[in-house]
Amino acid sequence: MKTELLPTTDPNALRYAVDVLRYGGLVAFPTDTVYGVGALAFHREAVLRLYTVKGRSTDKAIAVLLGREEDLPQVASELTQAARRLVEKFWPGSITLVVTKHPKLPEAVTSLPTVGVRMPDHEFARRLLSQTGPMAVTSANRSGEPNALTAADVMAQLAGRIELVLDGGRVPGGVPSTVVDCTAAKRNIAQQEGRPAMRNRSGAVIPGLLLVALGAWLLAGTLGVRLPSVATLWPVALIVFGLAFLAQFFAGGRRGEGLVFTGVAATLLGAFFLAITLGRLTWNDAGRLWPIYVLIGGLAFLAQWLARPGERGLLVPAALALAVGGATLALALGLVRADVADQIIRLWPLVLIVLGFGLLGSYVLSGRRKE
């Protein structure tokens, strides 16, 4: 069998993938976690092929991915209140909910009375799933081998075994989804696919790091170590605060990209103010170089987008802030001729117009998170 490789940007990729799946084929595609390989959930023979292709034991259930919440009743017979709350809060996202399966769901998907269901936070994956309906999807790797993070990884392990690989670049998540059992009275994080059980305690990262930093500072004082004054090193606290937010983002399985914005912004601001307190810059510079704050905001938006590339709308405020900040910083530093600077200053209301169009573009690019 020859495995075809198509970029997700190909205008025919989506339609061709749907045709392959409807004829019982297997298709690998990017999600918000790792690359997955899937079959139509109600096509028993195709689902059974997934076990063969992966070299996976048939006693291990396969999760079902959805592109729309409206498809959930097709695979789940009932939902607990806990499951409904998790759907509202975390879908789309890298969380798989274990729910009571629908009696019409093939035994090939799961021989248990339950099934794992998820809606990926990935635009192309949801578009595909919205057209196909529920799909049985598992990670696109041979059992026991590393997860596939790129289409090349998929081809290296599954070429000649499946019909089609859709190349969407490197996946943003890089870790499997977290599985939560919603059938019990008390929710339980069961496991990450192919990984041992793990409790999410990432909320302890920020206070933990701050306490370590504070303790180290106080210990140095009690041991007689001579340190610069608090007036000099207070920006270090801002840097530590920012790094703590970034650490929590990674400790939490790369969820909550808002932590990245705060972390990057706090770290860069702390570095800027530290340069002032250490005498590399003056407090007059802090006012004169105000465009640096705009640039920091742009870099923070850009970092947040890198943490969640599917949110294309973040590129608009990032580009605007970097462009406006860069231009105004050039003016502040005298890098632009006086006559040109005067013209730019006269046309400053254009910034408001561009910002308005930028916000509109952000809305259009982001789209609605749930299709």
The per-residue pLDDT for range 248-289, each reduced to its tens digit, is 777 665 656 677 888 888 888 888 888 888 888 887 877 777
- The pTM score is 0.54
Just give the CATH number of 4-192. 3.90.870.10
The predicted pLDDT at position 299 comes to 86
Alpha-carbon gap, residue 115 to 267, rounded angstroms: 43
pLDDT for residue 345: 56
Supply the pLDDT for residue 186: 43
> Residue ranges of the domains in the chain?
4-192, 202-366
Q: What is the 3-state secondary structure (H, E, C) of 162-184?
A: CCEEEECCCCCCCCCCEEEECCC
CA angle 247, 252, 255 (to 5 degrees): 105
Residue type, 9: T
Helix (H) or strand (E) holding 152: helix 151-158
CA nearest neighbour of 310 among 171, 174, 176, 178: 171
Percent of residues, the chain, with pLDDT higher than 70 = 73
Instruction: Please report the DSSP string for 225-244 in residue order.
Output: -----HHHHHHHHHHHHHHH
Measured in Å, how far apart are the chain's first and last C-alpha atoms?
Answer: 34
The model's pLDDT over 162-172, given as tens digits with 9 standing for 90+, comes to 999 999 999 87
Mean pLDDT rounded to a whole number for the chain: 79
